[in-house]
Amino acid sequence: MAESTAVKAPVQKKEPLFGKKERKLITDPLDDNNPITVQVLGICSALAVTTLVVPSIVMTIAVIFVLAFSNLFTSLLRTRIPKQVRMIVQLVIIASLVTVVELTLKAVSFDVYKKLSVFIGLIITNCIIMGRLEAYAMANKPWQSFLDGIGNGLGYGAILILVALVREVFGKGSLFAGSGIEMKIIGPSAEYWINTAQSTLFGWYAPNNLMVLSPAALFIIGIIIWIQRGRNQKLVDIS
């Protein structure tokens, strides 16, 4: 025991495994440098998959996986990748990881696989991933790159799930539909918590069909950006 700590200590001093810099890699993309609301990347899939919460969560997990591991592999190979073909190599790495996700999902949860259908494949074209590989993994060490991938994936997922929560509640009146813990919140029959067919207070309510269509996601993301800029002075463009 004593020996191993003695060996580890100097290593940790030189480069802590999870120091301040590493923590920042995870927390920064959640707010100050969020891939969707600040870098404005990955909007396409944020519009498409966010009608329901469950597919959004699955999409988030898939993107975190692909982002973290493509960052890791790219970073491991960064000194060996010939500069002339670096984009192609990055794409090969991303595409194979996406295929791994697709094959796994098809085996584990066929239903969700059918629901997400083409959007899993479209992770390949998600700008966040290529952006992080170019901007971070090509110039940083594997461990930091891995964390950067997880951080950005979480930042992406946070917005995705936030948008999906709003869209599912107001569009379909349910929450977590398609999973074991589906909650029916508001709607015109007795199985909903708030039964608009009988409630005098909510008799006027009808699900908003706009929420099911993709423009709704654009509005919601716009509002999130607005609120975020109002609260976070660092993001306000002074020029």
Partner 1 sequence: MHSTGYVIRFILIITAVVALVLAFMATALKPVHDMNEAIYNKRAILSAIEDPLGQPVSELTDEEVQEIFDSSVEQKVIDMDGDVLSNDEVMTHGYADGAAEDVDMAKERKRPESERFLPLFVYENGGEKYYIVSVRGNGLWDEIWGNIALEDDFETIAGAAFDHKGETPGLGAEIKDNPNFSEQFEGKKIYGSDGDYTSIVVRKGGAKNDRNEVDGISGATITANGVQEMLYRGIKYYEPYFNSISTAN
Contact between 80 and partner 1 by CB under 8 A: the answer reads yes
Which of 142-156 are b and which e, b meaning 16 or more Cβ less than 10 Å from the residue's Cβ? bebbbbbbbbbbbbb
Residue with tokens 């975190």: 64
Tokens 């607005």 belong to residue: 226
Q: From CA 54, how far away is CA 178, in angstroms rounded?
A: 7
Q: Does 84 bind partner 1 (CB under 8 A)?
A: yes
Taking the complex as a whole, the smallest distance from the CB of residue 154 to partner 1 amounts, in Å, to 26
Interface residue with partner 1 among 8, 21, 23, 114 (CB under 8 A) is 114
Q: Under rule CB under 8 A, how many of the chain's residues touch partner 1?
A: 26
DSSP 139-155: GS-HHHHHHHHHHHHHH
Least separation, in Å, of the C-beta of 200 and partner 1?
24
Exposed e or buried b per residue across 190-206, where buried means at least 16 C-beta atoms within 10 angstroms of its C-beta: eebeebbeeeeeeeeee
Q: Of 11, 17, 88, 197, which one interacts with partner 1 (CB under 8 A)?
A: 88
- Closer to partner 1 by CB, 24 or 115: give it: 115
Closest CA to 163 of 67, 64, 32, 34: 34
Among 12, 21, 111, 222, binds partner 1 (CB under 8 A): 111
Question: Does residue 21 belong to the site contacting partner 1 (CB under 8 A)?
Answer: no
Residues 135-174 that bind partner 1 (CB under 8 A): 171
Tell me which of 17, 23, 110, 203 binds partner 1, using CB under 8 A. Answer: 110
Distance, in Å, from the CA atom of 110 to the CA atom of 74, rounded to the nearest integer, reads 30
Phi, psi of 222 (to 5 degrees): -60, -45
For partner 1, the binding residue among 83, 191, 231, 236 (CB under 8 A) is 83
Residue list 44-63, contact with partner 1 (CB under 8 A): 51
According to CB under 8 A, which one of 26, 76, 89, 127 is a site residue for partner 1?
Answer: 89
Which of 147/221 has CB closer to partner 1? 221
Is beta strand 174-175 parallel, antiparallel or unpaired with respect to 186-187? unpaired
Give the list of residues 6+ apart from residue 95 with CB closer than 8 angstroms, or none: 124
Residue at 70: amino acid letter: S
Question: In the complex, which residues of this chain contact partner 1 (CB under 8 A)?
Answer: 51, 80-85, 88-89, 92-93, 96, 99-100, 103-104, 106-107, 110-111, 114, 171, 209, 212-214
